[in-house]
Amino acid sequence: METRIEASQYSAEHRRRNPLPQPVTLYGRELASNQRIPLNLDWVEEVRVNTSAVERRAATLPTRRSVKKEWQAAWLLRAIACMDLTTLSGDDTAERVRRLCAKARRPLQDHLLKALGGQDLPLHVGAVCVYHAFVETAVKALEGSGIPVAAVSAGFPAGLSPLETRVTEVRRSVESGAGEIDIVITRAHVFNGEWNALYDEVAAFKQACGPAHLKVILGTGDLLTLRNVARASWVAMMAGADFIKTSTGKEPVNATLPVSLVMIRALREYAERTGMAVGFKPAGGIKTAKQSLDWLATIKDELGRSWLEPSLFRFGASSLLADIERQLEHFVTGRYSAAYRHPIA
């Protein structure tokens, strides 16, 4: 059965009414922001993933691209701009969140930015990600910066509280000023093949978000197979997700290149079929500057330059920024500094 949707069915009028922050193209075709579309179970059921091929391709990704010197510095600055600077610890305090927000406003020390010739760049992170309880604190600390607050809501990280309770929490986070909401799906819906239930769940969160962007966390470390990851990605996108995100950062296995490759290719095919762009956020376990370059190169190879913007790509990170700072200082001075000289908060 032919299930492909003509792009004009969704994208022409929608693109005019819902432009992205900057033009996004795939294979020369301009894309619109995502909107909810009817659940197409044919698309879900036809998903196939060649695990061996994905793993082989992922294994080559860190070796296919190598950027050095000033080009590496430029890519690392891009990684900072695409970072969701995150604190999701049980001992978080309002003061820690305020310090994190100060770091988000000025992610690099002044002498480094000046040495890189970037003193006039409006450099800041993509967002600050906190628990619902600290949304108002973060919003106040970031006032006037243009940096959105991302709240992890909806029973994060397990996502097992009643749906009504989770939807209410999303609404409260938006009312408190969150511009982005990171929710986690009910993984049991994926295990049981309950695609209608998963679609309805994500659609309910999307509606509760109102003007805020919705990032849907799949919890890929819990989903067991790459096929499950791909199918969950498709359902989340059809339900209206603005981003699909790998992990909560709390699973034993978080963002990996094979999982990321499967999700990236799902959103690429979704863009081809619908004319709409969905963002991607790997989160959990990305701690080094070298790892950030691997993910940036993967995005560039698979999706093109348009996705290397904070509106479509984010790192979920808590310790990544410190290592990027160290690498940039090495580029400027030829010496590695101690990690404690680059505190996150």
∠ CA 43-48-53, rounded to 5°: 145
What is the residue-wise DSSP string for 233-302? HHHHHHTT-SEEE---S-SSS---HHHHHHHHHHHHHHHHHHSEE-EEE-BSS--SHHHHHHHHHHHHHH
Q: Partners of 280 in the beta sheet? A: 244, 313
Among this protein's residues, is 182 annotated catalytic?
yes
Q: Nearest Cα to 24, choosing from 298, 322, 279, 332?
A: 279
Active-site residue identified among 206, 222, 281, 323: 281
Q: Angle 47-231-239 (CA atoms, 0-180°, nearest 5)?
A: 125
Per-residue H/E/C for 174-241: HHCCCCEEEEECCHHHHHCCCHHHHHHHHHHHHHHHCCCEEEEECCHHHCCCHHHHHHHHHHHHHCCC
Q: Is residue 175 packed enough to be buried (19+ CB in 10 Å), middle (13-18) or exposed (0-12)? A: exposed
State the Cα angle at 326 between 100 and 250, rounded to 5°: 50
Amino acid identity, residue 9? Q
* Cα–Cα distance for residue pair 233/137, rounded to 1 Å: 32
Q: What are phi and psi of 249, to 5 degrees?
A: 90, -5
The Cα–Cα gap between 108 and 124 comes to 9
Catalytic residue among 182, 222, 294, 323: 182
Residue 281 annotated among the catalytic residues of the structure: yes
**Rounded to an integer, what distance in angstroms lies between the CA atom of residue 199 and that of residue 239?**
5
Cis preceding linkage at 157, omega within 30: yes
CA dist., res. 55 & res. 49, Å (int): 11
Residues catalogued as catalytic: 182, 245, 281
